[in-house]
Structure 1
Amino acid sequence: MAKTVKNTPATPAAVHNETTLSPAAPMSKGYLPVTKSRSASGESKLTPMDPKLQQAILLNRSGIKKSPTSSTSEDELAVIASVTSESAWNELTEVRNPTLIIAARGSEPAIVTGRIPIKRIEFIRNLPFVKSLKGARRLIPALHNTIPDIGANKYAPLPKQTGGKGVLVGIIDFGCDFAHQNFIDKSGKTRLVKFWDQTATNNGNEVPYGRLHAANDINKALKSTKPYDALGISLFTGAHGTHVMDIAAGNGRGSGAPGVAPAADLLFVQLSTSNIPWDGPDVVGKNFGDSVNLIEAIRYIFDQAGKKPCVINISLGTNGGPHDGSTLVEKAIDGMLLEKPNRAVVIAASNSHDDGIHAAGNVPANGTHDLSWLVDGNDFTENEMEIWYKGSDQLSVELIDPSGQSLGTVEPNETGQVKDTNGHVQVVISNRLHDPNNKDNVIGIWLKERNTGNWTVRLINHTSKATPFHAWIERDDSGQSVFGGARDNSHTLGSISCGHKSITVGSYDATKKAFPISWFSSEGPTRDGRKKPEISAPGSNILAANSTTKKERIMMSGTSMAAPAVTGSIALLFAAAAARNKSLTIDQLRDIITKKGRTGPPDKVWEARFGFGRIFVPAIIGLLPAAVSAASKVSKAFEAEPPELIKKRHKKPMLKKTRKATQKKRKAAL
């Protein structure tokens, strides 16, 4: 909804003004009362920086502590930075565990990580050699639906393969069942060369946090009657990471159904988190990691691979971010892929197509545009929204509570907050100009848990030209808030799925003859108009290894399941190239993947959910100088079971039921 306002151009301050927002009257029943001042005179000004870091500073000032993690204390945050001096970063006494991810290249600064005290964030951001500083973002498995299928019928294994031998497949995920027979070779030894559990207590080994288990440690544990206890691992049935690793490279010794690259070596990183909710039910009991630990895991895997071909699978993501490949995480991934040939990073597209988490539009000249933000009454978690627009434009933002009461307006380059009577922050709004990584502007809004109802975010344009924008609501599986009214399902790729060199994978349903796109699979393009996802693979109703069972499988759906199919396919391609003394740069690899996707569907050269088609192993290997006769034997290794077998076990399609239930719930919310 748009309307015209009086033209009163905003005058941004040189630094962020920290403003305490206050309504003209008390908030409606069910909300905590807020402070009555609207003056910044009693508050120190905030440095222009990442809205996530500003939020952390404001929460810390109000006395709210975050929970400690394996890599951070309650007073620290994990950060990723671009710096012009690696040595200066390493010498900072405030930075703990400084890690070089990408060295400086020409005019491009180095990308580094570290753990810093929350109280010193502003000091570090203002150092002249620190060009960008970002807080860790939560990452959640890109799994849409899980259907227990323990004890399902076993079918004849595929012909014996040697696919992927000599290639390292890295899996960064949650829940590694190293004792499942699909990850043990015929001699009874593990196929894992290393297992870095970032969540564990450090025991002084070679990693800066967590615990590293070498192959010998795992083999000793396999001889124990309690192998998980032997490594100090807590594992549950149906672990996401076990399922993902089996699709990519399980050997089928336990389940009878091998993955795509059954002869590849494996390295698993159990992802930890340093950016968890500050309070509320999400603090414990949920699997998620963060973006800083993610790139440290990628760096570690590539370093361990050395000259060996290596492909890494990331079936994780969230919704926030600029969606243009400019995040430091995506830049770090791009940089690592350019260091050496025979490297790839495969990322799930995300499952947010129908989730109502994206909106886009134009704020008219001298006018306003209202966004409806629905927070369900049963949502007891925090909620976040990001709005991105061009750096040449400027927007003010007004937040209106569910009772219709305005909490005030935050001008460009200001930060506003709402506090309760105890001084605790309830709402943070950051209106930042010129993000250092893409020079665009971003508005970040954070609502503390229990602030439910239909909120209105009013974008105000004081200029004489229309301002286009994109807005995303952050992913929250415990209580997803959504946009009200008409939704825009385009541009719903995950927060780390928009890089320039990574390969992003959508999901289609191979259990149906027409191979339709999976209803949950996210849609491109990127915000800057690039064609992603690149490719698609089966991701609906996929059977793969079930953790804690040693031999059984479980059915799962999601782009989480599609990505490892492509990961395994790339492992086969790397192995075939190595057999002919060929190396593949990341650009050559991407060219092969995008040129040989199967069509019909999709019907176009590139389609916003299928990408450039459906992955087909014989075709991509066929682009190498010499044909690989074994390709035909593995072409179906990653296909889901035939439709008739699915129908025998499930009289009604489980995903269809889930989708209808989801749609019914969302309609009720509207």
Structure 2
Amino acid sequence: MIRGPAPHGDDRPTTVSAPARGRPGEVLTMADRLRRGALCALCAALLAPLVASVPARAAAADLDKLDRTVFDDPQWGAPDADGKLYVVLHLDQPTVLDLYLGTGYPVGDPRPAARRALERVAAVVAKRQAPSRAFVDRTGATVLSTYVAATNGFMVEATRAQVEALTRTPGLARIYRAPELYPMLGNAVPTIGANRVLQELGVSGKGSHVAVIDTGIDYDHVSLGGKGGDSYQKNDPATVELNSFPTDKVIGGYDFAGRNYTGGNRPVPDGDPLDEAGHGTHVGGIVGGLLGNRQVPHGVAPDAGLVALKVFGARGGTNIYADAIEWAVKANTGLPVLGHKARVDVINMSLGSSWALGVDSAIGVTLSAVRAGIVVVASAGNSGNAAFVTGSPAASQFAVSVASTYASGQRTDKIQVIRSGETEDIEAVEADPSLTVQITGTGERRAPLMAFGTGCDDAAPHPDATGNIALVEYGGCNEWEKLDNIAKSGGVGAVVYNPAGGLTTIGVDWKEEPATIPAFMIPGPDGQRLRQRLDGGQAITAVLSPDFKGSLERDRLADVISPFSSRGPSRGGQFKPDVAAPGSNIVAPAMGSGEKPVTLSGTSMAGPMVAGVAALLIERLRKDGLIPVDQPMSPAVGLGAQEVAAMLVNYADAKVWQDANGGTAAPLAWGGSGRVNAFRTVRSDTIVTAGDIASFNYGIDAFDMVTEDQREFNVKNLGGAPKHYKTAVHFMDPSDQGKGVEFWASKEMFTVQPKDYATLNLHLRVTPDKLKPFTATGGQRVMVPGAGLNNAEYDAHLVVTEVDENGEPVPNGDVARVPIYILPRAASNLRLEPDPIKVSPSTGKGQVAVINDGEGQGNAELFALVGQDPVEQLVDPRINVENVGARVVSGAGGARSIEFAVVTRRKRMTPFDSRVHVLVDTDRNGSLDWEVYNDDPDFLLTGGRRASGEQWNILRRIAGTTPIQYTNVIYLQGATSRYTDANLNTRIIVLRADAAQLGYAPGQPIAFNAVVLHDTIFTDIRGATRNEPFDVVPDGAVGVVNNAVHVVGGARLAFDEANLGFGLDRWSVPLGGRSSTNVTLTRREGGTLGKVLAVFPMNLPVLGDNQVSTIEVGEFVPPPTTVPTDTPAATPTPTNTPGPTVPPTHTPIVIPTLRPTPTTGTGPTWRKVYLPKAVKSDN
């Protein structure tokens, strides 16, 4: 039996040392596949420091414990003004929680024996940690936080030299840069059924405690238990005044940050978690805002207690959210904490960083929270419908990740645009009042609309906007900077649009002084349409008016996914988010207003909806005696936090929609299991758990033969009488039925006794030759949701229905669902024979057979092998280069491209996991001239604030080499050379460069280096216990400075047509399943025969040589007797065609020489693009 992610998913990869081939019709279980290879459990490795024993003192050269991005990664921000870095040291030691749970006592047990056990294990941990702490102190570094409960280690402020010294810390497991996260920005409560819970079930969250890890809470607001009026203005946020805090509503908490903390400087904690930014107040009000304030809707759980754990200052980001989780775990375990202590039942984190930045550290601390009896809820992020963009800590498998939808009965803001006498209403969201003045204060603004670009400082000089309303693009810099530039240019208002998607509330920078012009955000498509009309010379008048606030009815948007909501799957290819909840246009308390509301949008607003439902559920379970009163949840004395989290998923309404027409369901990887349903969740008596919470994560996988699997799930009956159940599996898209993926439960009907559970299995069978076409291939579609993933994903639910003895559904009985996610493809199983390829002396020719033993179609891509690199122990295998090949191909119209194949030793889940650079010395004068590398064009051109999912070959001119100095110009290539040959779950990438643009001239050699480095967005790869975040071929003097590669001297790879002793009649060979063909090789006089590098991108992505082969070419002395021939039925119409279209002709590599780069004329086209400043993506 296999449990956990699918065998070839990167979160817990299974690697096979040789191709797992089988006979036609053979059924192979996943267990068989495992027995044929070796296991590599990444998740276990990530969690090992939490449970391992203390090792011997670290050796003097333990630089392999250091994540080099501590120094060099701009995504983490620069060191502070004093050159200090903020790093986390994880010790290879158990936590207090680990040792305490090992004693057999439940978390929070008040009995004296349990308290003595806790004191003993706390003393043990302190004693074991003492030598490490003493060593850290001796380096001169400053310990800012000490962790003993959620994890074991320290957060430290240190110089570069001190960080190097810290690698010798006794018991050290790993050092990494503290991840920097950002906040993720009335009818919602009825939409999720929370009003029915209050009115019909009498449950209001009383006795449940929700920790809001955020910007703090304005506990002076009437909706949050305060007196209102000017109480907030009289409250010093750095001091707890007499009788001010805690309150009956905000029952505890602590300020870990201080007013001036920004995430890039040292926090100054104090005991007062008063909100100074507004975000946490809004979030807290959604969770548990009180009844009785007519101006502000009440929260989901109005009687729940709130615990304010403040990890943000008045503006900026944070890297101390783990301190707040540590506080909560300590509080539940019984350890002392700073501030006002309170038990925590639920944690809400409406914060994060896109692309799962820092997910490795999030896994450990969220697991500790769950073990301490805490349901962890986290917002998925606001980066829109881009595959794999879902954020961290929500990407942790132990957190309930929440997407955003529209609520029913919504009324939204609008703006009006007038063109040619016709008036159009456009949905809009006003900017947050902390960012800029409000339209209610300025009055109506009616003025011509003009295009203002991005409005950022680096776009200066700005156009004269006097008397105009500016249409400005979202991102590139903070929104205050945009509005300030518009105002300085004479603009009277701003309309902001996000080309990547829909609406969110702008204003996450929290400047001390707000901007001076009103601003509204509109959906991306509307903004692009207006921009096109303005660019076409059309005159448009825009109207911003207080009368338009809440004036647009949006009933048709109920349960439609918010366009800004971040799509999954997670970076490792696993199912996320888990559920959805209303997050668009949510009305909740406004910080500092006394008793007034503010409307905000974002997954920040969706997360606390789910946290509030968890609080309602916990109250009900405590009333029923299923959770101890005044104690944390623990499976030792009742239900555990995982089971409570599972119910949130089990009873979500099955579908959310992609659009307002209600005809197309959002995929699981965008909308989760469905929109949370408070009434069904709180009322129900059945729990179905599977995996880490409640899901079957098969992830991204490849199959070359019929394969079966089974995974456990548990069905628990919380009621007082036996329950009968019936199982079924429903595909979200009924047309997926019969297309190669089958699911069924081990029992169709079964009975569970009261307060008991049953364990069953979900069976999977994959038949690769019946699968849907796999469209997520090639640079044009590899990570694009619509053209790529949506068509290839299989979304389903295991449905467990309460039935009577006859198998009929019980009226108002329990119906629990568990989402099932798999992204399968039919794998080829290509190979070449014979090895070596022999050339006949009489004909000068030889043949090699290309054979596909697999069911799936694939392709053999053939290159001249130009370089091999030995294994380097200090380089992560995902970037450790093994082989490099080169070839020249001809495309339509005779356009020629040079292609470079780079093969690493271990697969990467997505092309974004690493970046491959080829640095070209075109004229071989020792000075590098060009760089070609892979990147998402939108990610590159917007400074990192959005992504398209495509992978392009980017050319960049090199101006100097010590270190490399780039021009600020990149070249977007024409269609022939544009797209990178990139796929999911592979160790192969093929870069392509326009030969003419490089200065191509036949007959001369070309020299280059191949460099692979970890991308700036993924820390769980770069955070592995390895030294170097890059590999270079051939080995030379190479470094990385601010993520820019520089090569200083050293050897280079070279390829010379004169030394290539063979040619092939085909360099790219597509081949159907269970078929073969021949390739003819022709000897060329005077050249060295060398080797052919063959890569098979669509083979199974396992270890060994299954996706790559190097074949020697040699002389042949007697002629061949038999050569495999073409299989007659081997030319089906491709359905799983990988990569870009194969060019019509191929030639051996031809060596270019440098020519001036053309900017006009005929032939291949490209365009110069000037890069923006790098920016973080604010969520």
TM-score by length of 1: 0.52
SS of the residue corresponding to residue 604 of structure 2 reads helix
CA contact (8 A) 1:181 1:252 kept: no
Structure 2: segments with no counterpart, 5+ residues: 1-60, 94-127, 186-194, 228-242, 261-266, 335-342, 411-554, 628-638, 658-663, 686-717, 721-811, 813-945, 949-1168, 1172-1179
Per the TM alignment, residue 45 of structure 1 is displaced from its structure 2 partner at its CA by 13
Give the aligned partner of residue 91 of structure 1.
134
What are the superposed Cα offsets for residues 121-151 of structure 1, whole Å, 9 maximum, x if unpaired? 12222446211111112111111xxxxxxxx
Q: How does 1:133-532 map to 2 (within 5 A)?
A: 133-143=175-185, 163-184=204-225, 189-200=247-258, 210-213=269-272, 235=276, 239-254=278-293, 255-272=295-312, 286-290=315-319, 293-305=320-332, 308=343, 310-321=345-356, 325=359, 327-339=360-372, 341=373, 343-354=374-385, 489-510=386-407, 511=410, 512-513=555-556, 514-532=558-576
Q: How does 1:588-599 map to 2 (within 5 A)?
A: 588-599=643-654
Give the aligned partner of residue 534 of structure 1.
578
Per the TM alignment, residue 171 of structure 1 is displaced from its structure 2 partner at its CA by 0.6
Give the aligned partner of residue 615 of structure 2.
571
What are the superposed Cα offsets for residues 513-568 of structure 1, whole Å, 9 maximum, x if unpaired? 34210000011111323211110000001111011111111110000000000000
Per the TM alignment, residue 506 of structure 1 is displaced from its structure 2 partner at its CA by 0.2
| Counterpart amino acid of residue 282 in structure 2 | H
Closer/same/farther in 2, CA of residues 80 and 519 from structure 1, 3 Å limit: farther
Give the aligned partner of residue 608 of structure 1.
669
Rounded Cα–Cα distance in structure 1 between residues aligned with 2:145 and 2:269: 15
Rounded Cα–Cα distance in structure 2 between residues aligned with 1:578 and 1:297: 25
What are the superposed Cα offsets for residues 304-332 of structure 1, whole Å, 9 maximum, x if unpaired? 35684510110001125568x5x123211
CA contact (8 A) 1:141 1:316 kept: yes
Q: For 2:173, which of 108, 131, 134 is the aligned residue?
A: 131
Rounded Cα–Cα distance in structure 2 between residues aligned with 1:234 and 1:577: 32
Rounded Cα–Cα distance in structure 2 between residues aligned with 1:250 and 1:177: 11
Rounded Cα–Cα distance in structure 1 between residues aligned with 2:169 and 2:146: 18
Per the TM alignment, residue 265 of structure 1 is displaced from its structure 2 partner at its CA by 1.1
Closer/same/farther in 2, CA of residues 98 and 197 from structure 1, 3 Å limit: closer
Per the TM alignment, residue 605 of structure 1 is displaced from its structure 2 partner at its CA by 11
Q: For 2:600, which of 525, 531, 556 is the aligned residue?
A: 556
Per the TM alignment, residue 256 of structure 1 is displaced from its structure 2 partner at its CA by 4.7
Rounded Cα–Cα distance in structure 1 between residues aligned with 2:129 and 2:322: 17
Closer/same/farther in 2, CA of residues 623 and 111 from structure 1, 3 Å limit: farther
CA contact (8 A) 1:508 1:518 kept: yes
Closer/same/farther in 2, CA of residues 122 and 492 from structure 1, 3 Å limit: same
SS of the residue corresponding to residue 554 of structure 1 reads strand
Rounded Cα–Cα distance in structure 2 between residues aligned with 1:498 and 1:137: 14
Closer/same/farther in 2, CA of residues 338 and 666 from structure 1, 3 Å limit: closer
Per the TM alignment, residue 252 of structure 1 is displaced from its structure 2 partner at its CA by 3.4
Per the TM alignment, residue 51 of structure 1 is displaced from its structure 2 partner at its CA by 3.7
Larger radius of gyration: 2
Closer/same/farther in 2, CA of residues 534 and 129 from structure 1, 3 Å limit: same
CA contact (8 A) 2:559 2:675 kept: no
CA contact (8 A) 1:176 1:268 kept: yes
What are the superposed Cα offsets for residues 171-221 of structure 1, whole Å, 9 maximum, x if unpaired? 11115211100111799954112242223389xxxxx951114xxxxxxxx
Rounded Cα–Cα distance in structure 2 between residues aligned with 1:140 and 1:288: 5
CA contact (8 A) 2:389 2:566 kept: yes
Rounded Cα–Cα distance in structure 2 between residues aligned with 1:591 and 1:176: 28
Per the TM alignment, residue 246 of structure 1 is displaced from its structure 2 partner at its CA by 0.2
Rounded Cα–Cα distance in structure 1 between residues aligned with 2:303 and 2:211: 13
Give the aligned partner of residue 52 of structure 1.
69
Rounded Cα–Cα distance in structure 1 between residues aligned with 2:601 and 2:381: 12
CA contact (8 A) 1:101 1:295 kept: no
TM-score by length of 2: 0.30
What are the superposed Cα offsets for residues 456-504 of structure 1, whole Å, 9 maximum, x if unpaired? xxxxxxxxxxxxxxxxxxxxxxxxxxxxxxxxx1111113221121110
Closer/same/farther in 2, CA of residues 46 and 89 from structure 1, 3 Å limit: closer
CA contact (8 A) 1:80 1:135 kept: no
| Counterpart amino acid of residue 366 in structure 2 | I
Rounded Cα–Cα distance in structure 1 between residues aligned with 2:209 and 2:646: 21
CA contact (8 A) 2:656 2:666 kept: no
Give the aligned partner of residue 376 of structure 1.
none
Rounded Cα–Cα distance in structure 2 between residues aligned with 1:616 and 1:669: 48
Per the TM alignment, residue 75 of structure 1 is displaced from its structure 2 partner at its CA by 3.2
| Counterpart amino acid of residue 494 in structure 1 | G
Q: How does 1:55-94 map to 2 (within 5 A)?
A: 55=72, 66-67=80-81, 75-84=84-93, 86-92=129-135, 93=137, 94=139
Structure 1: segments with no counterpart, 5+ residues: 1-43, 69-73, 104-109, 144-154, 203-207, 214-230, 274-284, 355-488, 633-664
Closer/same/farther in 2, CA of residues 183 and 114 from structure 1, 3 Å limit: same
The root-mean-square deviation of aligned C-alpha atoms, in Å, is 4.0
CA contact (8 A) 1:101 1:332 kept: no
Q: For 1:622, which of 663, 683, 703 is the aligned residue?
A: 683
Per the TM alignment, residue 97 of structure 1 is displaced from its structure 2 partner at its CA by 4.3
The percentage of aligned residue pairs carrying the same residue is 24
CA contact (8 A) 2:356 2:389 kept: no
Rounded Cα–Cα distance in structure 1 between residues aligned with 2:220 and 2:594: 6
| Counterpart amino acid of residue 492 in structure 1 | V
Closer/same/farther in 2, CA of residues 87 and 48 from structure 1, 3 Å limit: closer
Which has a greater percent of strand? 2
